[in-house]
């Protein structure tokens, strides 16, 4: 990319410069074209082998893709930002993200490290008491912001790749660094898994910055309490008609959607454990004197186990179909994301905790962290487990300026070099 500052990945402070660059150019799920190009270019400049494009994805499992028009706009934006045309062509259609592959100097295990790339869809606060504003790296896109720390995760992955590459003679086995697109909304994990990116992986390490854990130096070696979740878009088809002349010929999609909403919230809870349901939007629009022919709902279910989430998902789809039928309409559902609820492998988390004790700067180690949300890493953890491997998600403590997914979110950047050092030590020791 010609229009961006040079970053020397071999310098330890490059991780902060990279984080700020990614923060400045946030891209949401499946449109991480500029971000992926930057990652691929920096890896390629060091001669690190990298896979990207359709080869690392499974089209039927790319949940929640943007519309073709949104995709074209994102590609154009990346082109304007100076991204390489051939790279962009290879990714067009949402095939974002990439996998760096480092073969060590000795035979051994296959370890995967997963980082994510996407931003959230909200506008960043322009208050000038905030570091991103003061230092001039706040989001350049209204309505889009790295408000979860994935800008930091991408930077950690890059700097880690550079360090591991330099020390590849010391590595036993293969290291794959997975730069995952579309984590928010649980859209990207299944696609990478089904394309075989995790095949043969014996150890999987994921990590997240903060999630409320503070300060820098406190690290959780494992995670539990992930909620399984399904994201569903619903389109209710009715029939438009003149509301005065012949309302009986209409089929009111808005009424069906409204009935669905109140009954979704009334789904009987299960005694098996915690469950959630939320309807985030209901869109139906017609003239005042027109029977609304179409309505859209977006909702999500969650559960403390896969079974509980499945119970909520099945009940939700039944309610939607029945509410549509009640008004003579039909409902079409699209699964936009799905994540499981598996926690860290206890033996691996214990081993990670032991190794972290040697890492300078790590002064408090928690055996496990209660996540209380959903994370796409679980889809990858389940695959690695199903093939006999082990997986854990680490949490690197860091003070945050405001909660995750809020407009004033920011985190203590000194967590970045510490996370690189920790993951580096883990790869070399495991």
Question: With contact defined as beta carbons under 8 Å apart, do 376 and 206 qualify?
Answer: no
Least distance in angstroms from the C-beta of 46 to Zn ion: 27
Residue sitting closest to Zn ion (CB) = 148
- Please give the backbone phi and psi of residue 246, each rounded to the nearest 5 degrees, phi first: -145, 60
Least distance in angstroms from the C-beta of 398 to Zn ion: 13
Question: With contact defined as beta carbons under 8 Å apart, do 133 and 108 qualify?
Answer: no
Q: Rounded to whole angstroms, how far apart are CA atoms 157 and 148?
A: 16
- Cis amide bond preceding 186, omega within 30: no
> What's the half-sphere exposure (Cβ side, CA atoms, 13 Å) at 230?
22
Least distance in angstroms from the C-beta of 328 to Zn ion: 42
Least distance in angstroms from the C-beta of 411 to Zn ion: 11
Least distance in angstroms from the C-beta of 214 to Zn ion: 16
Strand partners, 278: 300
Least distance in angstroms from the C-beta of 375 to Zn ion: 7
Closest to 314 measured CA to CA, from 331, 325, 301: 301
For Zn ion, the closer of residues 205 and 291 by Cβ is 205
Helix axes 253-264, 306-326, angle to 10 degrees: 150
For Zn ion, the closer of residues 180 and 191 by Cβ is 180
Q: How far is CA 49 from CA 43, 99, 177, 260, in A?
A: 7, 8, 11, 50
Least distance in angstroms from the C-beta of 173 to Zn ion: 28
For Zn ion, the closer of residues 146 and 251 by Cβ is 146
For Zn ion, the closer of residues 291 and 416 by Cβ is 416
For Zn ion, the closer of residues 148 and 381 by Cβ is 148
Q: How far is CA 122 from CA 64, 141, 148, in A?
A: 18, 10, 11
The residue assigned the tokens 């214990």 is: 350
Least distance in angstroms from the C-beta of 189 to Zn ion: 12
For Zn ion, the closer of residues 154 and 193 by Cβ is 154
For Zn ion, the closer of residues 23 and 251 by Cβ is 23
Question: With contact defined as beta carbons under 8 Å apart, do 157 and 177 qualify?
Answer: yes
CB proximity list for 59: less than 8 A, separation 6 or greater: 191
Residues interacting with Zn ion, by CB under 5 A? 148
For Zn ion, the closer of residues 338 and 351 by Cβ is 338
């Amino acid at each position: 990319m010609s229009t961006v500052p040079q970053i020397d990945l071999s310098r330890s402070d490059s991780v902060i410069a990279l984080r700020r660059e990614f923060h400045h150019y946030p891209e949401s799920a499946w449109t991480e074209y500029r971000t992926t190009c930057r990652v691929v270019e920096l890896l390629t400049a060091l001669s690190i082998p990298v896979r990207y494009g359709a080869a690392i994805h499974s089209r039927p499992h790319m949940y929640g893709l943007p519309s073709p028009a949104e995709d074209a706009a994102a590609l154009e934006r990346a082109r304007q930002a100076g991204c390489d045309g051939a790279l962009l062509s290879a990714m067009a259609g949402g095939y974002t993200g990439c996998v760096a592959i480092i073969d060590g100097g000795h035979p051994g295990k296959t370890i995967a490290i997963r980082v994510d790339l996407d931003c959230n869809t909200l506008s960043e606060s322009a208050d000038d008491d905030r570091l991103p504003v003061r230092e001039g790296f706040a989001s350049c896109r209204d309505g889009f912001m790295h408000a979860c720390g994935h800008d930091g995760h991408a930077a950690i992955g890059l700097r880690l790749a550079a360090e591991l590459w330099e020390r590849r003679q010391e590595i036993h086995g293969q290291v794959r660094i997975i730069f995952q697109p579309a984590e928010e909304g649980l859209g990207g994990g299944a696609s990478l898994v089904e394309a075989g990116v995790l095949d043969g992986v014996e150890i999987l390490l994921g990590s997240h910055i903060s999630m409320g854990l503070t300060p820098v130096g406190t690290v959780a070696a494992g995670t539990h309490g992930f909620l399984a979740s399904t994201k569903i878009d619903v389109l209710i088809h009715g029939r438009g008609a003149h509301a005065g002349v012949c309302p009986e010929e209409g089929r009111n999609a808005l009424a069906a959607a409204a009935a669905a909403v109140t009954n979704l919230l009334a789904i009987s809870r299960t005694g098996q454990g915690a469950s959630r349901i939320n309807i985030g939007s209901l869109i139906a629009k017609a003239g005042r004197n027109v029977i609304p022919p179409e309505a859209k709902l977006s909702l999500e279910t969650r559960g403390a186990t896969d079974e509980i989430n499945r119970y909520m998902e099945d009940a939700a789809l039944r309610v939607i179909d029945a509410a549509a039928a009640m008004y003579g309409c039909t409902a079409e559902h699209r699964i936009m994301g799905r994540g499981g609820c598996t926690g860290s492998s206890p033996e691996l988390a214990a081993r990670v905790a032991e190794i972290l004790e040697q890492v300078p700067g790590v002064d408090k180690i928690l055996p496990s962290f209660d996540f209380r949300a959903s994370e796409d890493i679980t889809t990858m953890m389940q695959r690695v487990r199903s093939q006999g491997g082990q997986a854990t998600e680490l949490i690197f403590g860091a003070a945050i300026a405001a909660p995750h997914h809020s407009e004033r979110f920011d985190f203590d950047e000194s967590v970045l070099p510490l996370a690189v050092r920790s993951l580096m030590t883990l790869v070399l020791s495991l």
